[in-house]
Amino acid sequence: MNVFDKSLLALDAYLAQAKQEELQKILEDVGGVCYEGPNLEDFFTTIFQNKPLRFKFQNGVTYYADSKPPPVGFQLISQTPKETLESFFCNIALWKHQSQQYLN
Amino acid sequence: MKDYVGHHTCSDNGGKDFVLENAPFLSPIVDKHPLPFLGRGYYFWDYDIVQAKKWGADHYDSNYFILEGIIGTTVDNFLDLAGDRRHMEYFLNLAKRFVRQGMKAHEWKVAKLIEFLKQVNKSNPDVFPFEIIRAQDYNIFPDPQFRMAFRDNLGYTYLNPRYVFCLIIVNDVILSGKRIIFQSKK
């Protein structure tokens, strides 16, 4: 049996008998805090400020996006200075293909 | 199994001899602070002097050394979340088990799941036996010069990913051949 199967079996055996209080205690013992950044929806609301966003590319095609959180690939575009956008064109094409509902 | 070359950035406090003797230095868990990326451990970039220098400039005000070392992995001590899909699937399966237990593990950060498993492992040694973890620090702004297309422009591979190692423990088997390969100019 490999190390992964052994690990999952051991965890299953542990969880089968572990009490919720014990798990919560371990969670507290983990310590530290995890950084909680803005969520994706807040992020895009800030970026778009509830206004449609328009990109025009050298191929003459114009893309629009609204304030709804689009797929992750769009982050590349929305945070990228206009002069470098062309190098991300293939990401745009992919995004357009995957998310027609965000385009006018 | 396989050796990797790692680059560890650290302060130059104490001088070269002290650093060579005592490095790598631990990234601890500090109360009320964010957990280190992959939890408590000794961090190395996977063969990446450029990232090691960036880290030094950003975190040590350009007063730093870069330590190089050979990281020795085996099939039993290495969890590779950067380059092995089987390892990734396993890691997700661990999280799913906690979700089934009614815990919000799907919302946990990577470090939290790892630290939780390390705690459980103290009394259940098979649960998380790993000593070395590697993961990709995904860059949402990949540098186009390292992108190489396949057959068309929709598919490509990226030849400069940021991989980070976290050594949970350090000993002569896991880390060997330590040497300082760079000292920042003051």
Note whether residue A6 is domain-resident: no
Instruction: Give the chain A residue nearest B88 (alpha carbons).
Output: A4
From CA B19, how far away is CA B169, in angstroms rounded?
18
Question: Of A1, A5, A6, A7, which to mutate for an interface test with B (greatest number of B Cβ within 10 Å)?
Answer: A7
Provide, as residue numbers in chain A, all residues whose Cβ is less than 8 Å from the Cβ of B98: 15, 23
Q: Which residue has the higher pLDDT, B16 or B105?
A: B16
Lowest mean pLDDT among A13-27, A72-86, B167-181: A72-86
Region of A25 on the Ramachandran plot (φ > 0 left; ψ -120 to 50 alpha; else beta): alpha
Are B75 and A2 an interchain contact pair (Cβ–Cβ within 8 Å)? Answer: yes
Q: Angle CA(A86)–CA(B141)–CA(B151) in degrees, nearest 5?
A: 60
HEC assignment per residue over chain B: CEEEEEEEEEECCCHHHHHHHHCCCEECCCCCCECCCCCCEEEEEECCHHHHHHHHHHHCCCCEEEEEEEEEECCCCEEECCCCHHHHHHHHHHHHHHHHCCCCHHHCCHHHHHHHHHHHHHHCCCCCCCCEEEEECCCCCCCHHHEEECCCCCCEEECCCCEEEEECCCCCCCEEEEEEEEECCC
- pLDDT (0 to 100) of residue A6: 97
ipTM of the complex in this document:
0.90
Per-residue pLDDT at A47 exceeds 90:
no
Note whether residue A14 is domain-resident: no
CB pairs under 8 A between A and B: 93
Note whether residue A5 is domain-resident: no
User: Which residue's structure tokens are 């990577």?
Assistant: B110
Share of chain A above pLDDT 90, in %: 15
From CA B114, how far away is CA B95, in angstroms rounded?
10
Residue A95's domain comprises 40-102
Q: Could you read off the pLDDT of B73-89 as tens digits, one per residue?
A: 999 999 999 999 999 99
Of A30, A34, A93, the CB nearest to B119: A30
From CA B77, how far away is CA B70, in angstroms rounded?
15
Highest-confidence segment of A1-10, A37-46, A78-87? A1-10
Provide, as residue numbers in chain B, all residues whose Cβ is less than 8 Å from the Cβ of A30: 29, 35, 112, 115-116, 119
**SS3 label, residue A41:** helix
Per-residue pLDDT at A72 exceeds 60:
no
User: Which residue's structure tokens are 């945070």?
Assistant: A79
From CA B45, how far away is CA B6, in angstroms rounded?
5
Instruction: Give the chain A residue nearest B101 (alpha carbons).
Output: A15
- pLDDT (0 to 100) of residue A57: 43
- pLDDT (0 to 100) of residue B111: 93
Note whether residue A31 is domain-resident: no
CA end-to-end span of chain A: 54
Under 8 Å between Cβ of B167 and B24: yes
Under 8 Å between Cβ of B111 and B166: no
Provide, as residue numbers in chain A, all residues whose Cβ is less than 8 Å from the Cβ of B30: 32
Per-residue pLDDT at B11 exceeds 70:
yes
Are B76 and A34 an interchain contact pair (Cβ–Cβ within 8 Å)? Answer: no
Per-residue pLDDT at A83 exceeds 70:
no
User: How many independent structural domains does chain A possess?
Assistant: 1
Instruction: Give the chain A residue nearest B139 (alpha carbons).
Output: A76
Number of neighbours of residue B133 by Cβ within 10 angstroms: 25
Per-residue pLDDT at A67 exceeds 90:
no
Q: Could you read off the pLDDT of B89-110 as tens digits, one per residue?
A: 999 999 999 998 888 887 788 9
Q: Could you read off the pLDDT of B112-129 as tens digits, one per residue?
A: 999 999 999 999 999 999
Per-residue pLDDT at A51 exceeds 80:
no
What is the rounded average pLDDT for all residues in chain B? 92
Strand partners, B135: B164
- pLDDT (0 to 100) of residue A29: 80
CA end-to-end span of chain B: 40
Q: If pLDDT is split at 50, 70 and 90, which confidence band does A33 have?
A: low
- pLDDT (0 to 100) of residue A35: 39
